[in-house]
Chain A
């Protein structure tokens, strides 16, 4: 079973804390989106393994874009 982590808001990815293959736990740091001069941290939604990361540091995302996938 896989779970997608969606961008809650549009902005710029300024930090990615995980890489593909990482074992993660719910509420671990996933990445940080900067928008409107504020940094919004995004957290891992469930325990599992990161199987896909769709974004790069410095890249822009739109609201509801899939940021990464956890299996």
Chain B
């Protein structure tokens, strides 16, 4: 298939003078939002005790461990701002992302030992489940840096129990093991109770000499027999037993290496644990990239910085999606699928780091005379019409057949509406796309370039596809809402306005409420909020989008669960005709 893939048709054009000039203000506005996101991420990175204080105890921080463990230039963090329960700490207290260890992609997650010694907090299990799901989608190892002091006891009611509560990740580890996906755990510090199960549930345990893991830690063992209250005598007894357990905590390597053998290895140095993980990662099953690559990796022909000038942060401004894509794929080459059909979406094959990927993206702007063909009104990009949705169904189905991972670029205002659109079957074809995505079973990544809105947000490869979407990223221009705030205010209050008008009442109180809806919609749709509640897994800088595409593609091809031989693929033949 070399003639198909080694050199595909080139696309994209260099920025013109006018675009460069116009793009300057847009660049500043995008970078301003990126600066706000970076500042918020810095707060999370610096949460809890200062690094120097942790180091003074002879202990590395989770960030120092990650830096030592992960291959330079490959760390692609996720969930940095994820805090769905709005914890006062600002974090779920786990740090995670995709990265290479010893040249192999892995999903990596660690407790932030600066914050309450790595305690369980509200929302943390949701974060962990996203991470275990990610390892499952991509079929790559999960590497843990366990350092978990157990539950934050003053807030245990928020996360201890429940279907997706703090115990659920242990079942996910079991599930990953059943699927043949290894979970490696480097273990540090004191890990009682929940922390003990965080430590014992992975596949292979790499322990630091000063760590301990136990069903119950010192605090619990000291007070396991409630007596209805406390008095001076019981306080004295408590002091004595606490002193004892502090110096002799349950579950040290003396027990779990020498006696039970739960720990496969024990290391004197903190870095030794990480070296052990690195050593094991060398032997993790992974195809040599040459097995799947269809060409030598190549950078795009155009500067990725152009993206700041090409993607308008102003949601009403149109842009050329193909020019965006030309800055993100290898050598700016593409084999477009059905270019003369469904002009509101791009579908095609491109290369990322030498690997074949399917790309689907909303195009913007006026779609030309006579489109959509079933209506007497004009079509505009960002919206979905009959042809575009049929084309996506075909493309996803064929990519699934050919086992080609998909990357979606979403910027949609919705699906065409009204009786004409209903007669054109858009409701049914939309759900057909959901079926096609689910049926494909291939890993998918979504980039929310700008807007995710209305039911179209559900159809375009995003997080709602729990079994297919590996992760989603957003940009400084991302917004997510069911409809525009002003549209929502009209839907909620237009009848009320009529009533008040007919009754001769002042309209100002209703208008005030309508404006409040508009403001709320703004607040609850912006990038930082999207990241906090998990609408996307990370907000990334424009010039980092390709790095995440490479992480996704490399991971998806590292050890895929099924293969289509390149010379038996049908999608490239259909494109060629």
Contacts and interface: CB of A to CB of B under 8 A. Distances in A.
A10 B382 CA distance: 18
A40 interface: yes
B317 A35 contact: no
A4 interface: no
B18 A27 contact: yes
Contact of A8 (B16, B22, B366, B382): B366
B90 interface: no
Contact of B18 (A28, A38, A63): A28
Interface string B378-396: 1010100000000000000
Nearest to B22: A29
Given A39-B317, A41-B318, A10 B17 contact: no
Contacts of A29: 18, 22
Contacts of B365: 38, 40
Contact of B366 (A9, A26, A43): A9
Interface in A1-49: 8-10, 25-29, 34-41, 43-44
A38 B382 contact: yes
B382 A35 contact: no
Nearest to A40: B318
Nearest to A28: B18
A47 to B, nearest CB: 11
Interface string B317-337: 110000000000000000000
A68 B298 CA distance: 43
Interface in B323-370: 364-366, 369
A40 B366 contact: yes
Interface centre among B366, B369, B413 (most CB of A within 10 A): B366
Interface residues of A, number: 19
Nearest to A44: B18
A26 B318 CA distance: 19
Contacts, number: 44
B414 to A, nearest CB: 11
Contact of A35 (B16, B18, B378): B378
Contact of B16 (A26, A34, A39): A26
Given A9-B378, A29-B22, A39 B17 contact: no
B290 interface: no
B378 A36 contact: yes
B368 to A, nearest CB: 9
Interface in B369-423: 369, 378, 380, 382, 413
A65 B142 CA distance: 60
Interface centre among A10, A34, A35, A41 (most CB of B within 10 A): A41
Contacts of A43: 18
Interface string B1-33: 000000000000000111100100000000000
B380 A36 contact: yes
Contacts of B366: 8-9, 35, 40
B316 interface: yes
A40 B18 CA distance: 15
A38 B369 contact: no
Nearest to B366: A9
Nearest to B317: A39
Contacts of A63: 369
A25 B18 contact: yes
B380 A39 contact: no
Given A38-B316, A41-B317, A27 B378 contact: no
B490 to A, nearest CB: 13
B316 A37 contact: yes
A32 B366 CA distance: 13
Contacts of B413: 37
A38 B317 CA distance: 6
Contact of A27 (B17, B314, B369): B17
Contacts of A9: 366, 378
B382 A27 contact: no
Contacts of B317: 38-39, 41
Nearest to B364: A38
A37 B414 CA distance: 13
A35 B17 contact: no
Contacts of B380: 35-36, 38
Given A34-B316, A38-B316, 15 more contacts: A25-B17, A25-B18, A27-B16, A36-B380, A38-B318, A38-B365, A39-B314, A39-B317, A39-B318, A40-B365, A40-B366, A41-B22, A41-B318, A43-B18, A44-B18
Interface of B: 16-19, 22, 314, 316-318, 364-366, 369, 378, 380, 382, 413
30 contacts: A8-B366, A9-B378, A10-B378, A25-B17, A26-B16, A26-B18, A27-B16, A27-B17, A27-B18, A27-B19, A29-B22, A35-B366, A35-B378, A36-B378, A36-B380, A37-B413, A38-B316, A38-B317, A38-B380, A39-B314, A39-B316, A39-B318, A40-B318, A40-B365, A40-B366, A41-B22, A41-B317, A41-B318, A43-B18, A63-B369
